[in-house]
Structure 1
Amino acid sequence: MKLNVGVGGITFAYLPLLVAKAAGFFEEEGLDLTFVNANGGANALAAALGGSVDICGLVMSDIILASAKKQKLHAFAPLMSQYASDAIISTAAAQKAGITSDMPLTERMARLRGMTLAISSRGSGIDKLWRYLIGLGGLDPDKDVTLTVVKLDQMYPALISGQIDGFNTTAPSNNRAVEEGRAIWVARPSQGEVPGLENFLYTVLGAKPEYLAANPDVPRKLVNGLVKGAKLIRSDAAKAGALMQKEFFAQTDGQLVIDTVKDQATTVASPPTLSEVQFKQNVEFMLKFGHEVDKVAFSDTINGKWLTS
């Protein structure tokens, strides 16, 4: 069965999805997946709502926001169960501020004062995460640092050239900068070190409720493939990374991809869960930024029946 899956980009935010595809696990389930790169989560969401893709990969917050606007999508499978966007600053900026990775997180954040930090757009997930982290250090993100818009694919070059002091994003560009000694980790939500973001339901697969009702075998088979992908990542990250690099990251150093899969292995949802606790955690995080999502219900956004069938 042919299936179009919209994604915001070919990134590690979809790690188990990419590994399952590269390993042939969806083919084993009788699914022929084509990824449609929508170049952004908002575009992937629009494609799913408009019917140009069958399934979409999104951050959970996008589905909650859509529901608040009476646009119905249901998350039916988790991808990443940690907030998999890690923050780095350049080694030069770290040395100037006296920051080391073994300092308490709140002290690291307090020492970001005066730095220029990249965001992809105002109100984006990257913007929100910086604001949240900076607040943990007792700083005002609008006064004590400069949040400047930089395209995602330009963040690494901007850091290397000294145009910015840091950025947060999904792997592997942040891992690359650290491995090269050009940057240090300053906050690692993916490793569960950020209060309030532990075990955070980050990315999911979603679809319109009517599509899921009409095609119940599709989510079941996708979940089966994702479970196999997550197990491979957890049990043999080197193999998973090699497969993923060959299919999706041919222009990226193979060892970097493997090392990054090993680094991010604990972020994949295994076993897969879509709980009310995870939903409420997303809502609480969004409320901090003024999103009017307090009236959105768990049942409006999540259908986890295929995780237990």
Structure 2
Amino acid sequence: MQRRTFTLAALALPALAHSQAPAPEKPQVTLAVGGKNLLYYLPLTIAESLGYFKAEGLEVTIVDFAGGSRALQAVIGGSADVVSGAFEHTINMQAKGQKLRAFVLQGRAPQIVLGVNPKTMPGFKTVADLRGKKIGVTAPGSSTNVMVNFVLTKAGLKPSDVSIIGVGAGNGAVAAMRAGQIDAMSNLDPVITLLQRSGDLKIVSDTRVVAEADRVFGGPMPAGCLYAPQAFIDKHPRTVQALTNAIVRADKWIQAAGPSEIVKAVPESYLLGDRAVYIDAFLASRGALSPDGSVPDAGATTALRALLSVDESLKSVNFDLGAVYTNDFVKKANARYPKG
């Protein structure tokens, strides 16, 4: 009874804070995400399930797609206002004349794991062995695909040396690996931990570990974030601030939460039928999640370097990296919610 009373009192505080803040210009927001069940997007799920969006005066409709590239298409096509997706999309789209800007970070490392199928590649030794093989990604063009291309390039292979197959980010990805339909996989938790525990995946590169991600990419590589067209940010700054507040609170809550609290806060379907696996996946990924929503200053440079290594056409583009992200909203959110 005492804990319940405390919880209700705590929930009343953000409501009071919201009553003193300017209302969002656009209280109804459509947000696109590619693979919402992934721990990569855990802050989004927590912000939704714990009522942080509502506390900011927002009604957020979350539309889930098979991968980040499709979520990106939704905002470019106008069917969504904001994307919860990979940071590097903001850079890629600048090269295509689209002004997108990240305004709050969910992941400070990609959390993407590249692994091989022990059944179809029992003799795997190096990345070069992937030549001619089928590699599963969440969706072609998504960050999982970029990770594959980057690792292949560092090993002296071209993206065209393999076959890329979209397998999604849930049970379909697990089934494809176990059935031997793919020889390797670039995916995220909880899919990775589930396959690893059952012996259906041998890890090759693991960017859930921040130090390894920094080594692989040569610096801090921002991952999941909320981004939107610059025009939307300019027109709806209070709405963007409200979204940022909710994600920053979720970022901080996750860092302080225990595994059992995490499991209670996410939908049952996210557990992929195994609560213990999800807890292991969370513990493996927590360090790669952002503690406060800030994009590291060197992050855009790291992301551009990764993109340049896999796409020759980008080398002729004069990028304005200062235009692909801002920490202005995050600074205000942290000042308002110093403890989450």
Instruction: Give deviations 1:92-135, integer Å, cap 9, x for gaps.
Output: 467533x6xxxxxxxx5356567543345655433332232234
TM-score, length-scaled by structure 2: 0.77
Map of 1:306 onto structure 2: 329
Q: SS in structure 2 opposite 1:260?
A: helix
Instruction: Give deviations 1:216-263, integer Å, cap 9, x for gaps.
Output: 222222222222212222222414531343366266433322222221
1:240 and 1:258 in contact (8 A); partners too: no
Map of 1:90 onto structure 2: 117
Map of 1:130 onto structure 2: 148
Map of 2:246 onto structure 1: 225
Q: Which consecutive unaligned segments of at least 5 residues does structure 2 have?
A: 1-26, 333-340
Map of 1:14 onto structure 2: 41
* Distance in 2 of aligned mates of 1:63 and 1:218: 20
May I ask how many residue pairs the two structures share in their alignment?
298
My pick for the range that moved more, 182-191 or 133-142, is 133-142
Instruction: Give deviations 1:38-65, integer Å, cap 9, x for gaps.
Output: 4433332233234332221121222212
Q: Do residues 274 (structure 1) and 300 (structure 2) align? A: no
* Distance in 2 of aligned mates of 1:286 and 1:157: 30
Q: SS in structure 1 opposite 2:298?
A: helix
* Distance in 2 of aligned mates of 1:43 and 1:287: 22
* Distance in 2 of aligned mates of 1:248 and 1:3: 24
Map of 1:165 onto structure 2: 183
Return the letter of the residue paired with 2:180: G
Q: Do residues 259 (structure 1) and 243 (structure 2) align? A: no
Structure 1 counterpart of 2:230, from 206, 209, 234: 209
Return the letter of the residue paired with 2:302: Q
Change (3 A) 1:138 1:73: closer
1:19 and 1:240 in contact (8 A); partners too: no
Map of 2:314 onto structure 1: 292
Return the letter of the residue paired with 2:312: G
Change (3 A) 1:140 1:30: closer
* Distance in 1 of aligned mates of 2:87 and 2:201: 29
Using the TM superposition, give the Cα deviation of residue 82 of structure 1 relative to its aligned residue in structure 2, in angstroms: 0.4
Instruction: Give deviations 1:150-182, integer Å, cap 9, x for gaps.
Output: 422543222212233320112221111012232
Instruction: Give deviations 1:7-52, integer Å, cap 9, x for gaps.
Output: 1232323121112212222222222222012443333223323433
1:64 and 1:301 in contact (8 A); partners too: yes
TM-score, length-scaled by structure 1: 0.83
Q: Do residues 26 (structure 1) and 53 (structure 2) align? A: yes
* Distance in 2 of aligned mates of 1:15 and 1:205: 12
Change (3 A) 1:94 1:199: farther
Cα RMSD (Å) of the superposition?
2.7
Structure 2 counterpart of 1:49, from 76, 100, 105: 76
The alignment-based identity, stated in percent, is: 21
